[in-house]
Structure 1
Amino acid sequence: MGDHVMSRDGAPPPNYSSTADVGDKKKKRKKKKKKGKKTSAEQASATKYVKDWFYADSTLPSSPPSSCLADFEVPKSVWCPEPIVFELHSHSICSDGFLSPSALVERAHRKGVKVLALTDHDTMAGIPEAIEAARKYGMRIIPGVEISAMFSPREDSGTEEPVHILAYYGSCGPSRFEELEKCLANIRDGRYMRAKDMLLKLKNLKMPLKWEHVARIAGNGVAPGRVHVARAMVEAGHVENLKQAFSRYLYDGGPAYATGNELLAEEAVQLIHRTGGIAALAHPWALKNPGAVIKSLKGSGLHAIEVYRSDGKLAGLGDLADLHGLVKLGGSDFHGRGGHDESDLGTVNLSVLAVQEFLKLARPIWCDALRDVLLSFAEEPSESSKFKKFRNHEKDVVSPSLCFWLTDEERQTVEMEAMRLKLSHTVVNERGIPISVIGK
Structure 2
Amino acid sequence: MAGNKAKDKKKKKRGGGKKKMTAEQHSAYKSVSEWVYLEQQHLTAASCVVDDFGVQKSFGRGGEKVVFELHSHSKHSDGFLSPTKLVERAHMNGVKVLALTDHDTMSGIPEAVDAARRFGMKIIPGVEISTIFSPSNFDLEEPVHILAYYSSCGPTRYEEIDKFLANIREGRYLRAKDMVLKLNKLKLPLKWEHVAKIAGNGVAPGRLHVARAMVEAGYVENLKQAFSRYLYDGGPAYSTGSEPLVEEAVQLIHETGGMAVLAHPWALKNPIPIIKKLKDAGLHGIEVYRSDGRLEAFSDLADTYGLLKLGGSDFHGRGGHSESELGSVNLPVLVLHEFLKIARPIWCGAIKDMLEIYVEDPSDSNLARITRFGQMGISKGSSALNCGKDLIDHYLPLWMTKEEIQNVDFEDIKLKLSHMSINMSAGIVPMGTK
Instruction: Tell me, in whole angstroms, the C-alpha distance in 2 between the residues paired with 1:168 and 1:414.
Output: 25
What secondary structure does 2:326 align onto? coil
Which residue in the other structure is 1:87 paired with?
Answer: 69
> Which stretch shifts more, 424-433 or 274-283?
424-433
SS in 2 for 1:164: strand
| Residue 136 of structure 1: aligned partner | 118
Is the alpha carbon distance of 1:374 and 1:249 closer, same or farther for their aligned partners in structure 2, counting shifts above 3 Å?
same
Q: Per the alignment, do residues 431 and 252 of structure 1 end up closer, same or farther by CA in structure 2, a change over 3 Å counting?
A: farther
Partner of 1:322: 303
Taking the aligned partners of 1:314 and 1:97, their CA distance within structure 2 comes to 25
Segments of 5+ residues of structure 1 without an aligned counterpart are 1-35, 61-78, 435-440
Q: Secondary structure at the match of 1:115?
A: strand
Q: Kindly state the Cα deviation for residue 386 of structure 1 after the two structures are TM-superposed.
A: 2.6
- After TM superposition, the structure 1 = structure 2 runs for residues 80-119 of structure 1, keeping only pairs within 5 Å, are 81-119=63-101
1:358–1:313: structure 2 CA closer, same or farther, 3 Å change rule? closer
Per-residue CA distance 1:44-75 (angstroms, 9 max, x = gap): 11110111111128999xxxxxxxxxxxxxxx
C-alpha displacement of 1:421? 1.6
Q: What corresponds to 1:21 in structure 2?
A: none
Secondary structure, counterpart of 2:68 in structure 1: strand
Counterpart-to-counterpart distance in 2, 1:59 and 1:363: 21
Match of 2:414 in 1: 420
| Secondary structure at 1:316 match in 2 | helix
Would the aligned equivalents of 2:140 and 2:270 in 1 still touch at CA under 8 Å?
A: no
Instruction: Quickly say closer, same or farther: Cα 1:431–1:344, change in 2 above 3 A.
Output: farther
How far apart are 1:402 and its partner, in Å?
3.3
Q: After TM superposition, where is structure 1 displaced by more than 6 Å over at least 4 residues in a row?
A: 57-60
8 A Cα contact 1:175 1:369, kept in partner: yes
Q: Deviations over 1:292-324 (max 9, x none)?
A: 111110000000000001122505100000000
Q: Residues 30-429 of structure 1: matches in 2 within 5 Å?
A: 40-56=22-38, 81-154=63-136, 156-380=137-361, 381-383=363-365, 384-391=367-374, 392-393=377-378, 394-395=384-385, 396-429=390-423
Q: Secondary structure at the match of 1:165?
A: strand
Alpha-carbon distance, 1:109 to partner: 0.4
Looking at structure 1, the residues matched to 197 and 402 of structure 2 have their Cα atoms a distance apart, in angstroms, of 51
Output the CA distance in 1 between the equivalents of 2:292 and 2:406.
Answer: 46
Q: RMSD between aligned alpha carbons? A: 2.1
- Report the alpha carbon displacement of residue 401 of structure 1 after superposing the two structures with TM: 3.5
Inter-partner Cα distance in structure 2 for 1:239 and 1:58 = 50
Structure with greater Cα Rg: 1
Return closer, same or farther for 1:110/1:258 CA change in 2, 3 Å cut-off: same
The residue type paired with residue 389 of structure 1 is R
The letter for the 1-side match of 2:95 is: V
Partner residue in 1 for 2:7: none
Q: What TM-score, normalized by structure 1, do the two folds share?
A: 0.82
- 1:95 deviates by 0.1
State the alpha-carbon separation in 1 of the partners of residues 165 and 62 from structure 2.
Answer: 38
Separation in 2, partners of 1:196, 1:325: 40
Task: State the distance in 2 between where 1:357 and 1:82 align.
Answer: 21
Percent identity (aligned):
66
Name the SS of the counterpart of 2:22 in structure 1: helix
Distance 1:329 1:413, change over 3 A: closer
Q: Which moved more, 1:405-414 or 1:393-402?
A: 405-414
Tell me what 1:5 maps to.
none
Encode CA deviations 1:341-378: one digit per residue, 9 max, x unaligned. Answer: 10100001100010000000000000010011111222
Paired amino acid for 2:415: L
Query: Counterparts of 1:45 and 1:125 in 2: how far apart (Å)?
Result: 36
Task: Specify the SS of the correspondent of 1:389.
Answer: coil
Distance 1:106 1:404, change over 3 A: closer
Answer with 138-147 or 411-420: which moved more: 411-420
| Contact 1:285–1:315 (CA under 8 A) maintained in structure 2 | no
Q: What is the rounded CA distance, in whole Å, between the counterparts of 1:433 and 1:57 in structure 2?
A: 24
Give the count of matched residue pairs: 379
Query: TM-score, normalization: structure 2?
Result: 0.83
After TM superposition, give the deviation of residue 415 of structure 1 in Å.
2.5
Give the AA of the match of 1:415. Answer: D
Q: Does the CA-based 8 Å contact 2:153-2:369 persist in structure 1?
A: no
